[in-house]
């Protein structure tokens, strides 16, 4: 029973990370109908930047905020330079550009920051074991912070005018323009936001999995599984899907397939979703009457 | 008074093909102009060209300024409200969110509130369905929503693309009554594209008749209504 | 909804080989065979790998170029082919040539199993699923439970094949010629497949899937079959690779391999069968050059090339060459046409 609780708690902690990356993926997918295969690499780059700032003496939370802002800017720039020209290109072209971006950023990380595995400090410490010792202080803090970030994003989209305009631009760019929304600018903002969310996820996960250029490739896979499970066009679904995948990964890894095969759990989830319910748990065709 | 909107030598098309081959038309300040014609004549294309939604050539002047190179969202911000064909409703958003988007470019809170009230006066059903997902509205309600959204832009010129399409006659009649009210009460200039010529001619002051991308008849709505030859050969009644 | 549009297909690809084409192919083949006797063993190995990668890329050409489906995980089928051959040779002492059909079958089977759920739903889901497959493969290969079979982390080594019937060829020469022979057969098969009825059906699926289905092309069946065939071809490439290298280990078959094949596909020309040869050569030679620059370089170069090609040469080198040839031919045709009488 102890083991089970621990696995579930750990699963929720990892799930929070997958949920964030899944949200970033779904945001970009909704707006552009493209999957950002480079999402993980962008997050890794952000994490390296954060580590550099920390080593340079910037206090943790200062580095965190600064990195988030820089990542936002990176997202806006990438959208403007690489994605905007690919808007109307065939799917293969945009996939090629995304994969190309993945490779370039990965190579850049290795070249600038080195390939050796680095440790990343956690800002969460506790003098005594918390919550009965089932979860580490970092897991608690990371889950809390990530959920907080997700909540902020939700509030932003649901209740602010800018958030509404971004949603409109994603759902129906033509009509959005007819309301005076500058759709291209919204796309850039969406990319920036996705990059910022990814950066937060990267900084939160690095203390656990250690930082190297390939840190996020497994995580990206789990995020995909989560996004598909929740419904690739449903942000809330993606978040829930991310948490579910986290828990499933841990449970299956502990009791069924062993830790060596945890990545295949993601593959199995993806195949299962596609076989049973391709729209995901919460993805829905929008109800409409003609 | 110079016309509010003037198009000269307007060409437009999709891909390599041109649909409009250089047409001239105008909308007077405070007037209602109708663009008539059969399917494929180019009416919808003309409205899309005005708003920069497709490739176009020629001159378009709105309130004295040239807009033929401007982007759609900038044209809208200058005061053009467009009710597109197919309504263009944001299906996934609620009625209220659709309306809020109409007012996206406006900064005057009080003015927006007043306009919302007026819009609910025209279309009480929208107020009842505020929290409902727009995709679940009936066709007629979605048309009302589309018009309401365009009105909230507080445009000087309202463009309507086939407002009667796919709607029951009673609802169409209601909508055209409201359009008449909008024109007389708010002095809003209107350019309406319609296949239903008699409806449009009842509403309009001026009318143009499009056939395969060219204007073949133009004049006051009164004159066209009375011209039996034109009615019989072009308008089918 | 044309979001899935590829660059437009070439009009009316003929079903047979023109005399000029046959001549070019014959000459090319003669040169390739001749190289067996002039190249030293290291370069022979490189040439063999060119053939290996050309065959592997060809699998993707058949899939993406002709049905417009994108796979980010063909490295997995390469791995299946390689490991099937390695397991049969190392554990059960099978002769190298006998492992080929088994490797082909194994890859085709897995291709069918993976393709079936993903293909019903459209390109994005296939891309995601194959991505997941590619990332998972090294883990699966390292699993302890299977290590008796797969050799676990250390992998498997095999003996180098000898030339048969006592022919006066070195092992390297024979492996090269053998791979060349298999490669020719595979290329001819692919060529055949993409001409004629199946080819036209595949192109129809790529361009207008809804219309294709309405015309009776069993969409799901065709896509799944094509995916299985494409997996089989790349699996054969993997098998040849194992024979040439005589060693397999899990970390050689990571996600980067799938990306490498994808880059070869794009560079060679996504729907160009001859382009696959160019793609294979690219894959074999560029990383060697790149590695001299820096360890990070191959990834950066691949990435930059991918992005560059998408912006500038979306149809790859193969497509660009074909376009050039056609333009030259058209110019000749135009002068001829100008001389026909006006009343025609």
pLDDT tens sequence across A48-78: 999 999 999 999 999 999 999 999 999 999 9
A79 within 8 A of A186, measured Cβ to Cβ? no
Confirm whether A207 is domain-assigned: yes
| A266 at interface of C, judged by CB pairs closer than 8 A | yes
Q: How confident is the model at residue C216 (pLDDT cuts 50, 70, 90)?
A: low
> CA A254, A260, A263, A266 torsion: positive or negative?
negative
Distance separating alpha carbons of residues C46 and C176, to the nearest angstrom:
9
For chain B, the average pLDDT equals 91
Q: How confident is the model at residue C340 (pLDDT cuts 50, 70, 90)?
A: very low
Whether pLDDT at A1 is above 60: yes
Q: How far is A150 from chain B (nearest CA, A)?
A: 21
Query: How far is CA C137 from its chain centroid?
Result: 19
Domain range annotation of chain C: 46-331
Q: How far is C30 from chain A (nearest CA, A)?
A: 35
How much is the pLDDT for B89? Answer: 93
CB atoms within 10 A of CB C147: 14
Q: Is C318 exposed, middle or buried (0-12, 13-18, 19+ CB in 10 A)?
A: buried
For chain C, the average pLDDT equals 82
Chains in touch with C (3+ beta-carbon pairs under 8 Å) read: A
Residues 6+ apart with CB under 8 A from B114: none
Q: How confident is the model at residue B234 (pLDDT cuts 50, 70, 90)?
A: confident
Query: Taking Cα atoms as reference points, which of B48, B105, B101 lies closest to residue B72?
Result: B48
C46 within 8 A of C289, measured Cβ to Cβ? no
Cβ-defined contact of A264 to C128 (cutoff 8 Å):
no
The interaxial angle of helices A216-230 and A39-55, nearest 10 deg, is 130
Distances (CA, A) of C97 to B39, B191, C179, C181, C235: 66, 76, 10, 12, 14
Chain A's closest residue to C262, CA to CA, is A96
Which three-class secondary structure state does DSSP give residue B35?
A: strand
| C121 at interface of A, judged by CB pairs closer than 8 A | yes
Query: Taking Cα atoms as reference points, which of B156, B192, B188, B158 lies closest to residue B33?
Result: B192
Distances (CA, A) of B166 to A201, B163, C34, C80, C223: 49, 9, 73, 57, 38
pLDDT tens sequence across C119-132: 766 677 888 889 88
Cβ-defined contact of A261 to C140 (cutoff 8 Å):
yes
pLDDT tens sequence across B28-38: 999 999 999 88
Phi, psi of C36 (to 5 degrees): -60, -30
Q: Which of A203-217, B180-194, C303-317 has the lowest mean pLDDT?
A: C303-317
pLDDT tens sequence across C151-196: 888 888 888 887 777 777 778 888 898 999 999 999 988 888 877 7
Give Rg (Cα) of chain C. Answer: 21
Distance separating alpha carbons of residues C19 and A278, to the nearest angstrom:
49
Distance separating alpha carbons of residues B42 and B12, to the nearest angstrom:
9
Residues of chain A whose beta carbon is less than 8 angstroms from a beta carbon of chain B are 161, 164-165, 167-168, 171-172, 174-183, 286-290
Which of C4, C255, C302 is nearest residue A90 as measured by Cβ atoms?
C4
Pairing assessment for the beta strands B32-37 and B17-27 based on DSSP bridges: unpaired
Whether pLDDT at C3 is above 50: no
C265 within 8 A of C279, measured Cβ to Cβ? yes
Which three-class secondary structure state does DSSP give residue A286?
A: coil
Phi, psi of B219 (to 5 degrees): 165, -170
C238 within 8 A of C78, measured Cβ to Cβ? yes
Q: How far is A143 from chain C (nearest CA, A)?
A: 25
Q: How confident is the model at residue B60 (pLDDT cuts 50, 70, 90)?
A: very high
pTM above 0.90, yes or no: no
How much is the pLDDT for C83? Answer: 93
Chain A's closest residue to B85, CA to CA, is A175
| C293 at interface of A, judged by CB pairs closer than 8 A | no
Residues in A closer than 8 angstroms to C121, CB to CB, are 274, 278
pLDDT tens sequence across C33-78: 888 888 888 888 999 999 999 999 999 999 988 778 889 999 999 9
Query: Taking Cα atoms as reference points, which of A26, A36, A39 lies closest to residue A86?
Result: A36
What counts of helices (H) and strands (E) characterise chain B? 10, 10
Confirm whether A133 is domain-assigned: yes
Phi, psi of C241 (to 5 degrees): -65, -45
Distance separating alpha carbons of residues C108 and C87, to the nearest angstrom:
17
How much is the pLDDT for A186? Answer: 94
**Number of folded domains that form chain A:** 1
Whether pLDDT at B14 is above 50: yes
Distance separating alpha carbons of residues B130 and B152, to the nearest angstrom:
15
Distances (CA, A) of C60 to A288, C190, C296: 39, 11, 26
Distances (CA, A) of C69 to A95, B220, C5, C125, C252: 11, 56, 11, 10, 25
C299 within 8 A of A106, measured Cβ to Cβ? yes
How much is the pLDDT for C338? Answer: 47
Cross-sheet strand order for the sheet of B206-211: B80-83, B157-161, B189-194, B32-37, B206-211, B214-220
Chains in touch with A (3+ beta-carbon pairs under 8 Å) read: B, C
How does DSSP assign C97-124, residue by residue? HHHHHHHHHHHHHHHHHHHHHHHTT-HH
Pairing assessment for the beta strands C247-248 and C156-157 based on DSSP bridges: antiparallel
Cβ-defined contact of B138 to A289 (cutoff 8 Å):
yes
How does DSSP assign C214-237, residue by residue? HTT--HHHHHHHHHHHHHHHHHHH
Whether pLDDT at A12 is above 60: yes
- Output the six-digit token pair for A207: 């203390």
Query: How far is CA B137 from its chain centroid?
Result: 21
Could you tell me the fold of the domain covering B5-235? Rossmann fold (3.40.50)
Substitution target from A100, A217, A228 for chain C, most C beta carbons within 10 A: A100
Arithmetic mean of pLDDT, B125-146:
92
Which of A161, A165, A178 is nearest residue B76 as measured by Cβ atoms?
A178
How much is the pLDDT for C74? Answer: 94
How much is the pLDDT for A226? Answer: 93
Cβ-defined contact of A168 to B90 (cutoff 8 Å):
yes
Confirm whether A242 is domain-assigned: no
| B78 at interface of A, judged by CB pairs closer than 8 A | no
SS3 content of chain B, % helix, strand, coil (to 5): 40, 30, 30
B14 within 8 A of B32, measured Cβ to Cβ? no
Domain, as residue range, for A179: 2-113+129-216
A44 within 8 A of A104, measured Cβ to Cβ? no
Confirm whether A158 is domain-assigned: yes
Residues in A closer than 8 angstroms to B137, CB to CB, are 289
Confirm whether A67 is domain-assigned: yes
A100 within 8 A of A86, measured Cβ to Cβ? no
Which ipTM value was assigned to this complex? 0.92
Q: Which residue has the tokens 């820089």?
A: A70
pLDDT tens sequence across A13-54: 999 999 999 999 999 988 888 889 999 999 999 999 999 999
More confident residue, C327 or A167: A167
SS3 content of chain A, % helix, strand, coil (to 5): 75, 0, 25
How much is the pLDDT for C163? Answer: 76
Q: How confident is the model at residue A290 (pLDDT cuts 50, 70, 90)?
A: very low
More confident residue, A130 or C344: A130
pLDDT tens sequence across C300-316: 888 888 899 888 888 88
Helix (H) or strand (E) holding A181: none
Q: How confident is the model at residue C339 (pLDDT cuts 50, 70, 90)?
A: very low
Domain range annotation of chain B: 5-235
Distance separating alpha carbons of residues C180 and C51, to the nearest angstrom:
6
Distance separating alpha carbons of residues A48 and C38, to the nearest angstrom:
50
- Output the six-digit token pair for A190: 């969406």
How does DSSP assign C28-93, residue by residue? HHHHHHHHHHHS-HHHHHHHHHHHHHHHHHHHHIIIIIHH----S-HHHHHHHHHHHHHHHHHHH-
B233 within 8 A of B73, measured Cβ to Cβ? no
A220 within 8 A of C255, measured Cβ to Cβ? no
Residues 6+ apart with CB under 8 A from A109: A41, A44, A45, A48, A213
A141 within 8 A of A148, measured Cβ to Cβ? no
Highest CATH level, class, for C46-331: mainly alpha
């Amino acid at each position: 029973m102890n083991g089970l609780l621990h696995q579930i708690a750990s699963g929720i902690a990892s799930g929070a990370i997958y949920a964030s990356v899944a949200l970033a993926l779904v945001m970009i997918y909704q707006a552009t109908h493209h999957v950002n295969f480079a999402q993980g690499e962008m997050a890794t780059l952000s994490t390296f930047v954060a580590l550099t700032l920390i080593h340079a003496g910037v206090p943790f939370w200062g580095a965190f905020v600064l990195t988030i802002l820089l990542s936002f800017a990176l997202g806006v720039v990438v959208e403007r330079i690489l994605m905007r020209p690919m808007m109307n290109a065939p799917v293969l072209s945009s996939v090629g550009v995304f994969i190309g971006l993945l490779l370039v950023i990965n190579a850049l990380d290795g070249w600038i920051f080195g390939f050796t595995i680095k440790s990343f400090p956690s800002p969460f410490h506790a003098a005594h074991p918390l919550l009965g010792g089932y979860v580490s202080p970092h897991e608690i803090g990371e889950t809390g912070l990530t959920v907080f970030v997700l909540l902020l994003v939700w509030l932003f989209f649901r209740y602010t005018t800018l958030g509404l305009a971004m949603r409109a631009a994603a759902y129906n760019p033509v009509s959005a323009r007819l309301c005076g929304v500058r759709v291209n600018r919204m796309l850039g903002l969406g990319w920036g936001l996705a990059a910022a969310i990814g950066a937060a996820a990267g900084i939160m996960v690095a203390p656990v999995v250690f930082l190297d250029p390939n840190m996020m490739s497994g995580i990206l896979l789990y995020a995909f599984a989560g996004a598909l499970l929740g419904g690739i066009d449903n942000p809330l679904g993606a978040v829930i899907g991310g948490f579910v995948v986290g828990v499933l990964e841990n449970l299956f890894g502990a009791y069924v397939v062993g830790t060596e095969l945890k990545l295949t759990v993601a593959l199995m989830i993806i195949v299962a979703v596609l076989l049973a319910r391709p729209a995901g748990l919460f993805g829905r065709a929008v109800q409409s009457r003609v | 008074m110079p016309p509010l909107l003037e198009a000269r030598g307007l060409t437009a098309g999709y891909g390599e093909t041109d649909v409009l081959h250089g047409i001239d038309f105008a909308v007077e300040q405070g007037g209602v102009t109708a663009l008539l014609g059969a399917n494929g004549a180019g009416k919808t294309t003309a409205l899309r060209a005005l708003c920069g939604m497709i490739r176009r050539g020629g001159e378009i002047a709105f309130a004295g300024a040239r807009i033929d190179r401007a982007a759609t969202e900038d044209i809208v911000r200058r005061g053009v409200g467009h009710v597109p064909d197919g309504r263009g409703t944001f299906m996934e958003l609620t009625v209220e969110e659709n309306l809020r988007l109409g007012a996206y470019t406006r900064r005057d809170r009080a003015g927006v509130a007043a306009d919302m009230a007026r819009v609910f006066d025209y279309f009480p059903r929208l107020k009842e369905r505020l929290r409902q997902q727009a995709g679940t509205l009936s066709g007629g309600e979605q048309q009302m929503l589309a018009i309401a959204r365009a009105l909230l832009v507080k445009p000087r010129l309202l463009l309507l693309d086939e407002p009667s399409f796919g709607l029951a006659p009673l609802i169409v009649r209601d909508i055209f009554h409201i359009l008449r009210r909008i024109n007389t009460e708010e002095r809003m200039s209107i350019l309406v594209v319609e296949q239903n010529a008699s409806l449009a001619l009842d509403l309009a002051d001026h009318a143009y008749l499009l056939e395969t991308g060219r204007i073949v008849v133009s004049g006051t709505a009164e004159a066209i209504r009375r011209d039996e030859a034109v009615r019989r050969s072009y308008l089918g009644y | 909804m044309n979001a899935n549009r590829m660059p437009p297909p070439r009009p009316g690809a003929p079903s047979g080989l023109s005399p000029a084409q046959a001549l070019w192919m014959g000459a090319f083949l003669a040169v390739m065979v001749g190289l067996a006797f002039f190249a030293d063993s290291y370069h022979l190995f490189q040439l063999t790998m060119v053939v290996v990668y050309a065959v592997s890329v060809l699998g993707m050409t058949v899939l993406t170029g002709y049905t417009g489906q994108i796979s980010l995980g063909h490295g997995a089928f390469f791995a299946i082919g390689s490991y099937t051959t390695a397991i049969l040779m190392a554990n059960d002492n099978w002769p190298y040539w006998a492992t080929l059909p088994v490797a082909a079958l194994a890859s085709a089977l897995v291709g069918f199993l993976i393709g079936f759920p993903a293909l019903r739903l459209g390109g994005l889901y296939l891309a995601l699923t194959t991505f997941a497959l590619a990332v998972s493969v090294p883990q699966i290969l390292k699993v302890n439970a299977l290590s008796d079979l797969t050799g676990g982390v250390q992998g498997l080594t095999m003996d180098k094949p000898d030339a048969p019937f006592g022919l006066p060829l070195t092992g390297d020469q024979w492996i090269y010629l053998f791979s060349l022979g298999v490669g020719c057969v595979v290329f001819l098969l692919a060529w055949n497949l993409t001409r004629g009825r199946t080819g036209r059906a595949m192109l129809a699926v790529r361009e207008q899937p809804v219309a294709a289905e309405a015309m009776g092309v069993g969409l799901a069946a065709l896509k799944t079959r094509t995916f299985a065939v494409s997996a089989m071809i790349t699996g054969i490439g993997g098998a040849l690779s194992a024979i040439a290298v005589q060693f397999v280990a899990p970390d050689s078959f990571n996600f980067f391999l799938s990306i490498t094949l994808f880059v070869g596909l794009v560079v060679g020309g996504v729907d160009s069968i001859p382009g696959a040869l160019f793609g294979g050569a690219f894959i074999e030679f560029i990383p060697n050059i790149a590695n001299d620059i820096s360890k990070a370089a191959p990834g950066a170069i691949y990435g930059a090339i991918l992005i560059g090609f998408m912006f500038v040469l979306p149809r790859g080198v193969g497509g660009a060459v074909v376009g050039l040839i056609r333009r030259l031919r058209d110019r000749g045709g135009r002068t001829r046409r100008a001389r026909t009488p006006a009343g025609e």
